[in-house]
Structure 1
Amino acid sequence: MFKKISDFIKWIGDHFKGMLFLLILLIVFMPTSESKLKPANLQEIKLSGPIMDADKVLKEINEAQKDDDIKGVLLNVNSPGGAVPPSIEICYAIKELREHKPVIAYASGIMASGSYYASIYANRIIANPGSIVGSIGVIMESPNLERLMDKIGIGTQVVKEGTYKEAGTPTRKWTPKEREELERLTKDTYELFVSDVAEARGLEVKNDKAYADAHIFSSKRAKEVGLIDEVATKSSAKKQVAELAKVKKPVWKEKDKFEAFIESLGTESILKLQGYFYGLKSVLF
């Protein structure tokens, strides 16, 4: 029995590339739906996983903006946040896109930290009843490996100019001055975050403890504090995109099948890693 199992595993290993090639051919050449024969007038853009780079999403936003056939966009968000610059890049790209065509941001799972920041300038923000929204805050962290390095006999040699050049180092405990410098940086970034949220959502900066302060909200509570406009399902969000875009017969843009297949593999892997390493915590936002 074990030999049969071993032989089967070996056969899969020997023929894996061929099977993968056939699967890709099947995906590429499988029959397309009749809707693809009609020009798409609505587009869904996904923001999934930790935000470490904005290039892919920015490219889709730019293409949607330039495509005159596309009348409205759904930004489908399921992300715990990420790095500051790419989150802000997406935020302002959505703000610009909104000037040309309506955008609805939909929280399909997690819309927290940087991914919430990315969504704030949509015409409307709608959240799935079971989604998590908020975490408007900033975090900067680093391990202190000094004791471990001492134990295994590893030391560092540093040549530097500038009092704060080693601020954030993991090789030793931060000095009070270094901590103060990093706290100033996170405070500045937090204030920028809150300021943009307040402007986009019509909230008062002085009331930030109610809707920001890194609170993690259920979709119901997120609506109560003004972070979202409605609690509803994706089908409702898509319907509202069509209504705002004044599209009577919605045709959603479909991605190339091969591209969608490869993307789904990548997204699934990222989300699994996210579950191990991120949880509800964001990298910096």
Structure 2
Amino acid sequence: MFIFRKLGDMIVFLDRNFKGILLFILILILFLPMGEDATEFGNLQEIKLTGEIVDASEVLKEIDEAKENDEVKGVLFNIDSPGGSVPPSIEIAHAIKELKSKKPVVAYTSGSLASGSYYSSIYANKIVANPGSIVGSIGVIMESANVKELLDTVGIKPQVVKMGLYKEAGTPTREWTPEERIELETLARDTYNKFVSDVATARKLDIKKANSYANAHVFSAQRAKSLGLIDEVATINRAKEILYTLSKVEEPIWIEKDKVESFMDELSSEAISQIYMFSSAGLKSKFEF
């Protein structure tokens, strides 16, 4: 009931304040200096990955633009994310790998470089973490609430027609059968093994020692460096210095978005995360890094 109440509160808030929200956005568009601080042309580009990884389309678009722009000599991949869905995390990782084949990429985190977001960074030329950041959480989780008692209380009885023993695996409407649990555990194990294998290959680590750096351990930046998960513990200025050296740029000029574009990107990213949080909170299975 808590979930439905929260969803209802959110809908009521949007309904009551829609005009105000729309007016606020219009004022921003009209009065913020469009492009005043923006730099369309430059030799370096920063790409940000923030919040829960749900949809990779915008990040992939920026990576592709940087890859195709011959003026861009290097990319700073700035990450602060707890991870998220498996497919978009893998998509980003492989896009960074392709980008790296054409120009240097330095990954930097000022906060969380964990789970799916760590996966996204593994193919960068160098990974730099702020001294206070959190790194690791190399693991996989699949979870779902069992809402059978709640449905019984409110008088809702699910009706299902299925073909295939495992078609309903992960359902929140009842307790999973032993066969379904084994099936989901196999899926999680296969995905985890891929995660560990890719990290070991990309970071040149001994996969036989994976329990020390994987197994969902969460590390301080310094500990992560000692294990080989990252290359340096430093601030963003040091990450930029490394990028200057790798890209052989003597006079760095950063491509910058204008203020409104940056604001709208952050707003849409936060909205997607919130929608994902509400839609997956106990109502369906989540399968994540």
Task: Report the TM range for the smaller structure's normalisation.
Answer: 0.7 to 0.9
1:29 Cα offset (Å) = 4.1
Q: 1:200 — aligned with what?
A: 202
- Rounded Cα–Cα distance in structure 2 between residues aligned with 1:211 and 1:126: 17
Q: 1:256 — aligned with what?
A: 258
Q: Note if contact 1:146-1:172 (Cα within 8 Å) is conserved in structure 2.
A: yes
Q: Note if contact 2:37-2:256 (Cα within 8 Å) is conserved in structure 1.
A: no
Instruction: Note closer, same or farther for the CA distance 1:162–1:214 as it changes in structure 2 (3 Å cut).
Output: same
DSSP 3-state at the match of 2:184: helix
- Rounded Cα–Cα distance in structure 2 between residues aligned with 1:23 and 1:30: 13
DSSP 3-state at the match of 1:210: helix
Runs of 4+ residues deviating >4 angstroms:
12-20, 267-278
What TM-score, normalized by structure 1, do the two folds share?
Answer: 0.86
Show CA shifts across 1:153-212 (max 9, x none).
Answer: 221221111111111111111111110000000000000000000000001111111000
Q: 1:26 — aligned with what?
A: 31
AA of the residue aligned to 2:260: F
AA of the residue aligned to 1:264: E
In the alignment of these two chains, the number of paired residues is 268
Q: Note if contact 1:47-1:75 (Cα within 8 Å) is conserved in structure 2.
A: yes
Instruction: Note closer, same or farther for the CA distance 1:14–1:148 as it changes in structure 2 (3 Å cut).
Output: closer
Structure of larger gyration radius: 1
- Rounded Cα–Cα distance in structure 2 between residues aligned with 1:148 and 1:15: 37
Gaps of 5+ in 1: 1-11
Show CA shifts across 1:117-139 (max 9, x none).
Answer: 01000000000111111100000
- Rounded Cα–Cα distance in structure 1 between residues aligned with 2:236 and 2:269: 19
What aligned pairs does 1:1-285 form with structure 2 within 5 A after superposition? 20-29=25-34, 31-32=36-37, 36=39, 39-267=41-269, 284-285=288-289
- Rounded Cα–Cα distance in structure 2 between residues aligned with 1:52 and 1:13: 25
Instruction: Note closer, same or farther for the CA distance 1:18–1:82 as it changes in structure 2 (3 Å cut).
Output: closer
Instruction: Note closer, same or farther for the CA distance 1:62–1:205 as it changes in structure 2 (3 Å cut).
Output: same
Q: 2:11 — aligned with what?
A: none
- Rounded Cα–Cα distance in structure 1 between residues aligned with 2:99 and 2:201: 17
1:258 Cα offset (Å) = 2.3
What TM-score, normalized by structure 2, do the two folds share?
Answer: 0.85
1:275 Cα offset (Å) = 10
Instruction: Note closer, same or farther for the CA distance 1:129–1:18 as it changes in structure 2 (3 Å cut).
Output: same
